[in-house]
Chain A
Amino acid sequence: MDELRVNNEVKTEGDSIQYIVIKLGAEQYGIDIKYVDNIVRMQHITRVPKVAGYLKGVINLRGEVIPVMNLRLKMGLPEQEATKASRIIILKLEQHGIIGFIVDEVREVVTLSPDQIDKVTYDANEEKPNFVLGIGKYENELISLLDMNVVAAER
């Protein structure tokens, strides 16, 4: 089931950070590779009643029960039927433990150096929490770099 086992001790060059690039609809997002534990194909998700809508339930990952959320719903995008390309990306977050995120597609791993990343400025009055750490530029494409701890923390 493991399509990609990610070695957490990937060497970074200088201050560069490696990101896993995922797709949600037309947009591309980057997730810091140090959080990524595993990427698995879509599988049966057991629904848990009376929880927030974006929490789709729990899956069995090698004997461990892991909560899974739909990243689309979390980002305020409409829900979509799972396709062949859909994946559950399993992250190990410091504060929240292991959580799975459903994404439309996992594309590649990119290495971004600090000069390839633009800081994003936010309107202080903006009520939506700051999910995006910065915008990465990679081969004419823009990648929104997600702060997964914030994504998971907001309920």
Chain B
Amino acid sequence: MDVSQYLEIFLDEAKEHLENLNTQILKLEQEPEDTDTINEIFRAAHSLKGMAGTMGYKRMQTLTHDMENVFSEIRNGTLKVSANMIDTLFQCLDALEEYTNNIQESADEGTNDNQPLIEMLNSFLKGSNAPAKEEKKEAPAAAEAEKKAAADGEEKWKEIVLTDDQKHVFRTAKEQGKNTYGMTVYIQENCLLKAARAFLVYKAVEERAEIIVCNPSAQDIEDEKFDLDFSLIVVTDTSLDEILHAARNVSEIDKVVGSELELKDDEASGEETAVSTETAAERKPAQKTASAVPAKNDKKPAGKPVVNRTVRVDIEKLDVLMNLVSELIIAKNSLVSASSVEGVNSTTFNEQIEYLESVTTNLHESVMKVRMVPIESVVSKFPRMIRDLSKKLDKKMELYMSGEETELDRTVVDEIGDPLMHLLRNSADHGLESAEVRAQRGKPEVGSIFLDAYQDGNNVVIEVRDDGNGIDVENVKKTAIERGVITPEQGDNMSEKDIINLLFHAGFSTSKKITDVSGRGVGLDVVKSKIESLSGEVEVKSKLGEGSTWIIRLPLTLAIIQALMVTVGGEKYAISLGSIQTIEDIKPEEIKLVQNSEVINLRGTVIPIIRLSNVLEIESLKKPDENMVVVIVKKGEKLAGLVVDELMGQQEIVIKSLGKYINKCKFISGATILGDGEIALILDANALF
């Protein structure tokens, strides 16, 4: 268990809260009666205390706790704000800032207890008759309980079998006049983060002593592979009491028992062979910590910050930056087109333009990367959701996830959570069969749901897969006819795939009973429209009895793409390079008619032809007997050939929205501004077939 990964967030947020407290307390000074201000202060102080506690920064937590007490009394109206109090509060903020700075430098809050400040705060409270001493009374009581426990023989550390190496370490330690103690730590039963607490104890002890043996191993503790207790054997200069006290100071610790280790020589030879396998595992963590301790000591005097400084940036600022990059690319494009039109022959000029091109491309990539976040933040809540669903639906199921580190644009990640949740719920509710049915079908009792994310070229693919019943096409067809979505005649002519796609139709749900999990008929159509609004697509593959797979494809970038520029009837259009398979030169006589629609036979594959001039309602400038330029585009596994007049070349284009006023046109996904200031429309090849 390593909290250092949270250190950056902690520092960022702590600073934010401190800043907030500073402004709010200033406000409080001017308007002592303003309840909103007091509430805001209270909230900030409370969050700060919680964060400091979780990170194990005791002194920081104590100080904020006492500040919070004062704020609480002010809020209740039992304490009046005085100038003296405001001064003290500001001093407290300064002290807190000192802690945060120390933490940033060395990951340690320092040793200043700020006792005078705490006493000042408590003196305010006494004035308001609030007893602040309760906690201190608890401590001795707890200590007594521990002593009793120790007498009951709960010192489990004594059961640890030592290796020769370890014994040797203890003996040399003793020769050097150091103390060797064993201790067992019991964590409270209702503790939520056992591993975190154990880690904090481990760390607290490690600061004061060298941990030689840890049972279970440090790795197991980190993975929460232990019950409520764990044992340590340490070598130290300090006293047992101090170490035990440090361990007890960690919250949610039930008790800590410990005493001095006494080595018996005869025991060693007898048990050595029996435990050799076990010890190999134990030795590792022991060595690890032994080497880690001196390394840490070396670091401190250097005074290097242990945390990389990060800046949290408003997403809107990134949007502005992205827009500026877009503008720059447009300007670069116009420079490129100007240089080719005006016949500038200077090689240096062209070299500089090429250099500018590579810089703008890199700049674009870097800005994109800044906006990318792993989808982990969204999917991490799903295992818990599936666990709850499993109980609610009374089906046994397990969620397997992979590719959580796959990155997507921040705006997409924010939006993708709901659709994924819908699909997972759908799999859990409709997909997986009940345990009896699964048993009949010879499937494992526990149903599996998979969530896999991976990058595929310029797309990110997220698959939700289950090993459940799959989609019953006949059932879907029947329901669709019942609901009047299609007529029976239509139903007979529809392919299996088309029928499955009816599931995405608004107001469609095949679940026989409506549950509060799914089955209200909202969901799949929402999923589809949400994903399409992100310029993505969703498709389903299913096999009755074996399960279904929902595949979501999302573009990696939303703003700038590589596109093929073409002309049709004198107008310029852009087609995303991502959807283009090949470009073919086709003679007019190669076009055949199948069911009254034009197709070509391209190297054995029959591909339907779409004449863009017809779709775009414009006269082609080409004569009918001329060879045709056909751009082969793919959508999933389907191919189609788009007939264009001319190819203009490949270009990096910035996607601009056409605005909500013109949105009826399905196959135009946006517009882009070309180098000469002209606008070219972007064709969405996926919407054409």
Contact = CB atoms under 8 A, between A and B. Distances in A.
- Say whether A associates with B: yes
8 contacts: A46-B679, A49-B618, A51-B662, A60-B678, A64-B656, A67-B661, A97-B659, A98-B659
Interface in B646-671: 656-662, 664-665, 668, 671
A63 B327 CA distance: 7
B662 A58 contact: yes
Interface of A: 44, 46-51, 55, 58-60, 63-67, 96-99, 152
Given A60-B673, A63-B327, A63-B330, A46 B571 contact: yes
A55 B662 contact: yes
B266 interface: no
Given A46-B681, A66-B659, A96-B660, 6 more contacts: A48-B658, A48-B662, A60-B673, A63-B330, A67-B662, A99-B659
Contacts of B383: none
Interface string B597-640: 00000000000000000011110000000000000000000000
Contact of B681 (A48, A64, A97): A48
Given A59-B679, A60-B678, A67-B659, A49 B665 contact: yes
Contacts of A47: 571, 618
Contacts of B681: 46, 48
Contacts of B677: 60
Determine chain A's interface SS by DSSP, over half rule.
strand
A102 to B, nearest CB: 15
A119 to B, nearest CB: 30
A58 to B, nearest CB: 6
A98 B657 CA distance: 12
Contacts of B551: none
B660 A58 contact: no
Given A46-B571, A46-B680, A97-B659, A51 B664 contact: yes
Best-buried of B617, B673, B679, B680 by chain A (most CB within 10 Å): B679
Contacts of A55: 662
Interface of B: 327, 330, 571, 615-618, 656-662, 664-665, 668, 671, 673, 677-681
Given A60-B673, A60-B679, A63-B330, A48 B660 contact: no
A59 B662 CA distance: 13
A50 B673 contact: no
Contact of B661 (A49, A59, A63, A96): A96
A49 B671 contact: no
Q: Sorted from nearest, which 9 A-B pairs have the closest CB atoms?
A: A46-B679, A65-B656, A49-B616, A65-B671, A67-B661, A67-B662, A50-B665, A49-B617, A60-B679
Contacts of B657: 65
Contacts of A67: 658-659, 661-662
Nearest to B660: A97
Nearest to B668: A48
Contacts of A50: 617, 664-665
A152 to B, nearest CB: 7
A4 B384 CA distance: 60
Contacts of B679: 46, 58-60, 65
Contact of B665 (A51, A60, A63, A65): A51
Given A46-B681, A48-B668, A50-B617, A65 B659 contact: yes
A18 to B, nearest CB: 25
A148 to B, nearest CB: 13
A96 B571 CA distance: 27
A104 to B, nearest CB: 22
Contacts of B673: 60, 63, 65
Among A49, A55, A58: residue with most chain B CB under 10 A: A49
A49 B668 contact: yes
Nearest to B323: A63
B685 to A, nearest CB: 15
B321 to A, nearest CB: 15
Given A49-B615, A60-B677, A64-B656, A99 B668 contact: no
A58 B658 CA distance: 8
Contacts of A99: 659, 661
A129 B603 CA distance: 58
Nearest to B618: A49
Contacts of A63: 327, 330, 673
Contacts of A58: 658, 662, 671, 679
Query: Chain B CB within 10 Å — which of A60, A97, A99 has the most?
Result: A60
Nearest to A98: B659
Contacts of A66: 659
B158 to A, nearest CB: 76
A145 B571 CA distance: 37
Nearest to A46: B679
A97 B657 CA distance: 12
A46 B660 CA distance: 17
Contacts of B662: 48, 51, 55, 58, 67
Contacts of B668: 48-49
Contacts of B656: 64-65
B688 to A, nearest CB: 12
A58 B657 CA distance: 11
A96 B681 CA distance: 21
Contacts of A65: 656-659, 671, 673, 679
A70 to B, nearest CB: 14
A94 to B, nearest CB: 13
Nearest to A64: B656
Nearest to B656: A65
Contacts of B659: 65-67, 97-99
A55 B660 CA distance: 13
Contacts of A48: 658, 662, 665, 668, 681
A63 B677 CA distance: 8
A21 B618 CA distance: 36
Contacts of B678: 44, 46, 60
Nearest to A57: B679
A67 B330 CA distance: 20
